Every structure is written in structure tokens, then in C-alpha cells.
Structure 1
Amino acid sequence: MPEIIEITVYRLDELSDAAKETARAWYREGGFDYDWYDAVYEDFQRIAEILGIRLKARPVRLFGGGTRQEPCIWFRGFGSQGDGACYEGHWDYTKGAAKRIREYAPQDDALHRIADALQTIQRRNFYQLRAEASHRGHYYHEYCMAISVERDSPTWQDMTADAEELVIEALRDLARWLYRQLEREYDYLSSDEAVDETIIGNGYTFTEVGRRFG
């Protein structure tokens, strides 16, 4: 014979502090199975474009069949050895990048420094430098980027002695910047405030001890 069992369920704001922590832990464990980083990626694509970086793309299979192109950006985080972010792309000189990055992100000194560094080394090489960044290995951080630098000189003139090192460091600095933005976004989305807002907005209910009910 089937039995009817009655149970009292609670909204998040009706739980004790300890039960709220249990409810939040439940959400954090499975609540990030979506592309929560999309906004950061979109921002990074715009910044890369301003700096003169054409990100490579890769095909990604869709559930309904077919594929779509996604930028070659990867990351792994947070808090473990080997965590970081990287990307693949082609870089060359883009006029006005330092000015445009300040217009786009006026408060971001790190991006200003990266744009200035790239512009300075281009100037020393008559704006003829270009580079390619490719991912290598099984990890995703700035040192997993193999970066080749060359000078496209019509007279076969060599690049300045410091050019390769400075370009590589600037492009890796950009990968570090990207990782910091991803970490900041994740920290916000997993904060008590954001988690509570999501739980309440979705109408989740819990048992008295904070276990998910419905």
C-alpha cells in the first residue's frame, strides 16, 4: 500500500544559519554546470580585438547536431597548482590600440600597461612585428602558450634584441589578466549574496537541515 508522508519544507530565508550553509553548499557543488564565464569571454574577445589580436576559433559540437565556432580560450581554476588561462591567436600592429583600450576600460591600469608595452616595441621595430600564440600541453595557463614573434620587414631587417621577450611577456600578461577576471567573476557568483539570490529566485525549497527538497 502506498503511504502519504508529510514533510515540512522551507525557503532559504526560513532556515537556520547552519542549514543555510548546507543549502549554499548544495548549490555551489552543482550550480556552475553552465557557461557562467560567457560574459568574461565576450569582454576578452573585444579587448583582444582592440589590441590587434585575432583569436583563433575551434568547432564545437551542438547537442542537436552540427557545430559552431568558439574562440580558442581556455582556463582551469581556481586555487590549484597549474590553474590559469590561455588563448590562441595572431597579433600584429593595430593603430591607436593604446588610446582605444583606455576608452574601453578607462580604469584598468593592467590593460593600459599591456597596450603601452606592445605599442612601444612596435614603434622600435617600425610597426612590423607580428606574433602567433598557440596552446601546448595539458594545462591551461600563460606558460602553456607557445608564442612565436617575427618581423615582417621588406628589407629583411632583424627585430630589436628585446622584441621577442617583450612581446611574449605582454601576451602572457594578457592571459594572466583574463584569469583574474574569471576568478573575480567566479568569486562573485559563488558569494553568499549571489548564491542566495539565485536560490530564492528559483524558488528552491529545503528540509529543516538544509537539504534540497524541491
Structure 2
Amino acid sequence: MKQITLKLYSFNELDKEAKGKALTTHRDLNVNFDWWYDEFEDFIELCSRIGIAVIKDKIKFRGFYSQGDGSGFSAKVDILKLITAIENQSWKDYAPLQEFPFTAPDIDRRVLPLLAKDILPNEPQIISRSQYYGVVVDLGIYVVNEDGREHDNVFEELDKLEEWLRKIAEALNRYLYTTLEKQYDFLCSDTAIKESILNMEYLFTADGRSANYLEQLTKRKTH
């Protein structure tokens, strides 16, 4: 039988070099679980304030520093509520400091009563791309009919409305990806990792190697 005695140290007891090694070793400490949950919830709530009902299980992302990284989401859109909310900047009731480059749609205002009277199907969608990240939009309008009369001349205005919605969807998607990236960067920062290490009372060898498993092994051997 051989007995080995090791001194174990808390993070604050390590020298500068050992602390650096400990932080590097635990760089993924705060992101090895569903760390994005709160960011998803915040995004869903913010969008709900402007008439966009995000489908939670249709949010996706990959990040953050490789070609092809990005995000996407799917949602149902209440166009009339969205127009009013943008005019009133209603999202600021939830996020007062958040700015968006949103403007009212530049369309013939005679289109809006058609929406209000359900003559235009008010079922537009924001759709997450199936193979790549990003979003597309679909107004869900194919035939515009009122009292048996088709409004063929309204489609030019609807094209403008769809383009307006696309810009809003893309701006929101950029916001989503940016908030996820910022949170990821923070969770992987020295400050956040150190806080987690201290809260979980991790122990280390003198050179900064994680030693919690050694302490746990010792406890198992003594029971």
C-alpha cells in the first residue's frame, strides 16, 4: 500500500499562473448546459409586445465564430398589432433601452382596412430557414376577394408589406443572435468562470489542475 498526501487549494489560494490554468481548464464550465434558456424567454417576450408570437421550439442557432454560424426563428405575426406597436415603440415597455431600426410600412393605407375586415388573410409568418440560418417571411395571401370581386391591384402593395416584414424579421434575428453571443462571451469570461468556481468551492492542486475528484475519491474510500 502506498499513501500519497496532496495539498489542495481554493482558487483564491493559487498563484497567478495556476489561476490562469484553472480558468482555461474550466472555460466551458458555464456553457455545458442549456445556458440560452433565459435569452430565448426574453426574445419571446419582447416579440410578443409587438404582435409577433415566436414558437419556442422553432428557435435555433449555432455559434459563434465560424463561417455559417447564425440563428433563426419561426413565428406568427399580427400585422395590424405590429404596425401599431412599431409606431408606439411598444417593445420599450419590456426593454426600455433597446433601439430597433423599425419604421411604419410605406404602403397605401387603403390596404389596412382590408386586413382589419379579414378580407386579406392576416396569417403572415416568419419562418426559420430549413437548411441554413436566417429567416424568410410569408404573408399567406394568394387571392384577395371582397364580395366576389378580386383585388388584383393590391398585390404591389402586399409585396411592399412583405418586404417591410422581412426587414423586421431580419433585424429581430440579428438581435437574437447578438444577445446569444454576448451572453456566451460573458459566461466564458474569466469573471464569470471565477464566480462559478468560487460558488461551487472547487479545489485545485498547486499548479491549477482541478482536484475535486481527488477529494471525492478520498471521501468514498473513508466511508
Q: Same fold (TM over 0.5)?
A: yes
Contact 2:7-2:205 at 8 Å conserved across structures: yes
In the alignment, what sits opposite 1:135?
Answer: 128
In the alignment, what sits opposite 1:177?
Answer: 175
Equivalent-residue separation in structure 1 for 2:78 and 2:144 (angstroms) = 13
Indicate which of 60, 63, 68 corresponds to 1:77: 63
In the alignment, what sits opposite 1:14?
Answer: 13
Q: CA deviation at 1:150?
A: 4.5
The runs of 5 or more residues in structure 2 that have no matched partner are 116-121, 213-223
Contact 1:121-1:167 at 8 Å conserved across structures: no
Equivalent-residue separation in structure 2 for 1:159 and 1:47 (angstroms) = 30
The answer as to 2:75 corresponding to 1:89 is: yes
TM-score, normalised with respect to structure 2: 0.76
Q: Which protein has the bigger helix share?
A: 2
Equivalent-residue separation in structure 1 for 2:13 and 2:67 (angstroms) = 39
The alignment partner of 1:134 has SS state of strand
Q: Which protein has the bigger strand share?
A: 1
Q: CA deviation at 1:153?
A: 5.3
Equivalent-residue separation in structure 2 for 1:34 and 1:86 (angstroms) = 20
Q: Looking at CA atoms only, which structure, 1 or 2, has the larger radius of gyration? A: 2
The runs of 5 or more residues in structure 1 that have no matched partner are 57-69
Contact 2:39-2:180 at 8 Å conserved across structures: yes
The alignment partner of 2:126 has SS state of strand
In the alignment, what sits opposite 1:148?
Answer: 138
The answer as to 2:96 corresponding to 1:103 is: no
Q: Which amino acid aligns with 2:203?
A: T
Give the 4+ runs in structure 1 shifted more than 6 A: none
Between the two proteins, the alignment pairs up a number of residues equal to: 192
Given the superposition, is the C-alpha separation of residues 137 and 53 from structure 1 closer, same or farther in structure 2, using an over 3 Å criterion?
Answer: same
In the alignment, what sits opposite 2:119?
Answer: none
Equivalent-residue separation in structure 2 for 1:209 and 1:126 (angstroms) = 68
In the alignment, what sits opposite 2:216?
Answer: none
Equivalent-residue separation in structure 2 for 1:154 and 1:12 (angstroms) = 71
Q: Which amino acid aligns with 1:45?
A: I
Alignment of 1:156-171 (within 5 A): 156=151, 157-160=154-157, 161-171=159-169
Q: CA deviation at 1:30?
A: 4.5
The alignment partner of 2:124 has SS state of strand
Given the superposition, is the C-alpha separation of residues 49 and 205 from structure 1 closer, same or farther in structure 2, using an over 3 Å criterion?
Answer: same
TM-score, normalised with respect to structure 1: 0.79
Q: Which moved more, 1:92-101 or 1:8-17?
A: 92-101
The answer as to 2:40 corresponding to 1:41 is: yes
Contact 1:150-1:159 at 8 Å conserved across structures: no
Equivalent-residue separation in structure 2 for 1:210 and 1:136 (angstroms) = 44
